Amino acid sequence: MQEEIKTRGWEMQRVCYTEFVYVEYNDCKGFTYEDPEYGLGFGTECRKVGKWEPVERCHDELVYVQEPWYPGPGEGGGNGGGNGGNGGYVPIPPEGGTQPMTAPNARKIFSGDLTEEQWKKLENMLKKIINDCMGEGLYKELSKIFNSNNKISFNFSDKEKGAKYSPINNVITFNPNMESGTLLHEMMHAYQYKQKNDVDIWRNQTINSEIESHYTQYLYYCRDTVSYNESDWIKGKIRGDKRMLSTEKLEYYIDKKGNFYGDSINFEIYWDYTLLNCFKTYPGYENYKYTPYEDRMVNFNNLRKITENCI
Ligand SMILES: [Zn+2]
């Protein structure tokens, strides 16, 4: 019964959307925000500078058609006529008219020219994230911002050594070998950017955003030892990545909901002389700017927001 109705309600349709293609040019004053991650080769990484140009892409997708379908000849009809009364499976009409069958969580906030396998991979990472209270909070917040008309473009790219979020074009580019904690990190950047939605503000507090995103990522791993031991984070630590090593000490001062506890003098010393130094001198981050808020806890506003409903 279910299969029968599925084939009626679902059909292949041509789905088109706009994707941005990166075109390099020689002017080195571009806005692209790079986020080299976790020791996959750093030091002399060349920062791509260029501009993104919109290109329309289309592919076939299995979608649910909201329009009422009518039974074919001899298949009965009317209210339960040949359909076993109320015992039939009635699909709930999805919002907006269409709903893809696979990767519903991923497709809700992301768009992209991904294969079915890639959608599944993305969905599996998102499932892990949503399974965590903080991750679920972030996903819900992103769902409010990114909807059917305004999604985050998502690209898997082997050429990319790490992962990055480009706020101007709202694109996450992700190395397929990376895992859910790194995806959470990039999703956090998308959320951070949208709080002000202003490129200049974003550029002036890139280091601030990195600290919050790294700490959020660390907290995510902390709840699951297995994830932690297999994470991109550990790979970075083993290679002596200063960002991981310095971020972990934040837990002596900031709890998992982004609230301060501990000794404020020691916190300020650690912040100014260890943490900031590690981030500002990280290869690839040298040109990132830091905004020195008098209250350092401003830097964890987003973390507090996404953990509001967590214990
Ligand atoms: Zn980052």
Do residues 59 and 113 lie in contact, with contact meaning Cβ atoms separated by under 8 Å? Answer: yes
> Identity (one letter) of the amino acid at 178?
M
Strands 152-156, 110-111: pairing is: parallel
pLDDT, position 63: 39
The rounded Å distance from CA 236 to ligand 1 centre is 13
The rounded Å distance from CA 149 to ligand 1 centre is 25
Domain boundaries, the chain: 2-306
The rounded Å distance from CA 150 to ligand 1 centre is 22
Structure-token match 């991650």, residue found? 37
The rounded Å distance from CA 12 to ligand 1 centre is 37
The rounded Å distance from CA 33 to ligand 1 centre is 9
User: What is the rounded average pLDDT of the residues 196-216?
Assistant: 97
The rounded Å distance from CA 305 to ligand 1 centre is 19
Reported ipTM: the value is 1.00
pLDDT score of 21 more than 60: no
* Cα–Cα distance measured from residue 310 to residue 259, given in angstroms and rounded to the nearest whole number: 13
Tens-place pLDDT, residues 29-41: 333 445 555 433 3
The rounded Å distance from CA 187 to ligand 1 centre is 9
At 143, the pLDDT band (50, 70, 90 cuts) reads very high
User: What is the rounded average pLDDT of the residues 146-156?
Assistant: 94
Do residues 173 and 163 lie in contact, with contact meaning Cβ atoms separated by under 8 Å? Answer: yes
Do residues 232 and 181 lie in contact, with contact meaning Cβ atoms separated by under 8 Å? Answer: yes
Tokens matching residue 206: 């890139």
Instruction: Quote the Cα angle for 26-163-126, to 5°.
Output: 145
Strands 163-166, 50-64: pairing is: unpaired
User: What is the rounded average pLDDT of the residues 154-179?
Assistant: 93
The rounded Å distance from CA 114 to ligand 1 centre is 23
The rounded Å distance from CA 14 to ligand 1 centre is 35
Do residues 78 and 47 lie in contact, with contact meaning Cβ atoms separated by under 8 Å? Answer: no
CA 109 to chain centre: 9
Do residues 254 and 271 lie in contact, with contact meaning Cβ atoms separated by under 8 Å? Answer: no
The rounded Å distance from CA 141 to ligand 1 centre is 18
The rounded Å distance from CA 283 to ligand 1 centre is 13
The rounded Å distance from CA 98 to ligand 1 centre is 34
At 120, the pLDDT band (50, 70, 90 cuts) reads very high
pLDDT, position 81: 35
